[in-house]
Amino acid sequence: MHIVIIFLQVLITILAVSTGFAYLTLFERRMLARFQNRVGPNRAGPWGIFQPLADAVKLFFKEDIIPSAADKGVYLLAPALAVIPALIIWAVIPMGCWNIAGDYQACFAAPGADGAGFYNILQIADVNIGVLYLMAVTSIGVYGITLAGWASNSKYSMLGGIRSAAQLISYELALGTAILGAVMMADTLSTREMVFRQAGLWFAVPQFLAFVVFLISATAELVRTPFDLVEAEQELTCGYNTEYGSMKFALFFMSEYVKMIALSAIGVTLFLGGWHFPGLKLLGEVVSGAAGAGVATVVVGIVSLLSFLLKVLVLLFLLVWLRASWPRVRYDMLMSIGWKWLLPLAFINVVVTAVVVGLAPEMNPLVQGIILLIIGVAVLWGATFLSEKQRSNLKVAAKAAVAPTGGRQ
C-alpha cells in the first residue's frame, strides 16, 4: 500500500513538474513580450495556451542527429544527466500539508510527533537531511551541461562546457553558505522542520542577507540571463547545446526550466515559509468546527498547496523579470561577483547568525529577527557602497592611464 502511494506521488509530481515546465516557457515568453512591448505567442488557442503543445510536437518531429565525431556514449548520457537531478530534487520538498490520516493538526504540531511527516502526501520523502540532499542534487546538475559540452566535440560546446563547470562550482559555494544561515536558524536539516520553524516569522526576514545571496547565486546556478555565459548566443551560438537537436535539446531545455521551478521551490521552503500562510491554522480550526476534521484536512491541504505554488510563482516572476531587465555580465565580473562579493557576504552572514543565535538562544524570535535584519541590511549597504567605490576608483585609474598624453594636437 505504501509503495503504491509513493509510486503515485512520484508519478503525479513528475507529470505536474513537466506540465509546469511547459507552461513556464509560455509564461516566460508572454512576460518577456510584455516587458519588451510585444504581444508574444498568442495564436495557438486562447491566450496561446496550446503553444507548449505545438512546441513539443515540433521538437518531437525534428530529425535526431548525432554528430559523427561526437563521443557517442557520453553524448547520449549528458541530456539524461541534466534532467534526472532536476526531477529527483522534488523528492524532499514539502509542497503543502495534506495529512491522509485525517489529522490536519499534525501539520502544525511540533516536529518529532508520531509520523506527522509520514502521512503528509504532499511531500514524497521526509528525510532528516533534506537540505543536504537538496545541495547534493543541485551540485550534480552541473555534469549534464559540462559533459554535453565535452562530448559534442565542437569548440563552441567545449567553451560552454568549461564555462559552466567554472561558474557552477563558484556559485555553489555561495549558495551553500547562504543556505547554511537558514539551517542555523532552524537548527535542523529536515525540510519539514524547516517549514515548521517558519510558522511565525519567515526566514527571509532574519536571513535577509542570506536570501539575497541565495537569489543571486541561484540565478547563476540556473545559468539564466545575467549569468548565461554558458550558452551566450552571440559568442558561442548556443554554448553546450549547440550540437543537440530534437528531443535531446528539449531535455536540456526542460532541465533548465524544471531546475528553475525547483530552485524557486527551495527558496520558498528555506526562506519564504514553505506552504505556511498567515491564518492557515485558524482556517483549519474554523472548517473543522463547521464540517469536521476530514473536510478541514482537505481544505488545509489544498490551501497550503496553493499558498506554496503562489510563492513559487512570485519567485519565478522575479526570475523572468531579471531576465528581461539585465544584460549579460562579463566573465571576469562573473567570477569577481561570485568569489569576492557573494561568498564573503554569505560567510559574514553565517558568523553574524552564529553570534546572535549563540549569545541569546532564548531571545524572542521577532526581536532576534529584527536585530539580524538590521545587521543584514547594514552589511548589504556596506557592500554596495564598497563596490560603488571600487568601480569609481577603476574609472579614475582608467582615466589616469589615458590622461598623461592629454588631448590630441
CA–CA separation, 293 vs 315, rounded Å? 33
- Which x/- pattern, by CB under 8 A, does the window 36-75 give for another protein? -----------------------------------x-xx-
**Contacting residue, 165, 215, 223, 352, with another protein by CB under 8 A:** 165
CA–CA separation, 243 vs 148, rounded Å? 9
- 150 near another protein (CB under 8 A): yes
Among the listed residues 334, 324, 326, the one whose alpha carbon sits nearest the alpha carbon of residue 229 = 334
312 secondary structure, DSSP code = H
The residue count of the chain comes to 409
Sole window of 14-22, 109-117, 199-207, 286-294 interacting with another protein (rule: CB under 8 A): 109-117
CA–CA separation, 265 vs 21, rounded Å? 13
- 133 near another protein (CB under 8 A): yes
Q: What's the Cα-to-Cα distance from 365 to each of 91, 185, 257, 268, rounded to whole Å?
A: 30, 10, 36, 20
- 221 near another protein (CB under 8 A): no
| Contact in structure between 122 and 96 (CB atoms under 8 Å) | yes
Nearer to another protein, 73 or 361 (CB): 73
Among the listed residues 323, 199, 218, 345, the one whose alpha carbon sits nearest the alpha carbon of residue 272 = 199
Nearer to another protein, 51 or 190 (CB): 190
**Contacting residue, 99, 146, 177, 241, with another protein by CB under 8 A:** 146
Q: Which helix (H) or strand (E) holds 345?
A: helix 343-359
- 242 near another protein (CB under 8 A): no
State in angstroms the smallest separation of the CB of 1 from another protein.
Answer: 12
Nearer to another protein, 13 or 164 (CB): 164
3 state DSSP class of 99:
strand
Q: What's the Cα-to-Cα distance from 166 to each of 240, 300, 323, 331, rounded to whole Å?
A: 13, 44, 21, 10
362 secondary structure, DSSP code = T
State in angstroms the smallest separation of the CB of 189 from another protein.
Answer: 6
Beta bridge partners of 120: 99
Sole window of 141-149, 230-238, 253-261, 366-374 interacting with another protein (rule: CB under 8 A): 141-149
Nearer to another protein, 46 or 361 (CB): 361
**Contacting residue, 14, 31, 54, 166, with another protein by CB under 8 A:** 166
Residues of this chain that interact with another protein (CB under 8 A) are: 71, 73-74, 114-115, 117-119, 127-129, 132-133, 135-136, 139-140, 142-143, 146-147, 150, 153, 155, 158, 161-162, 165-166, 168-169, 172, 189, 397-398, 401-402, 404-405, 408-409
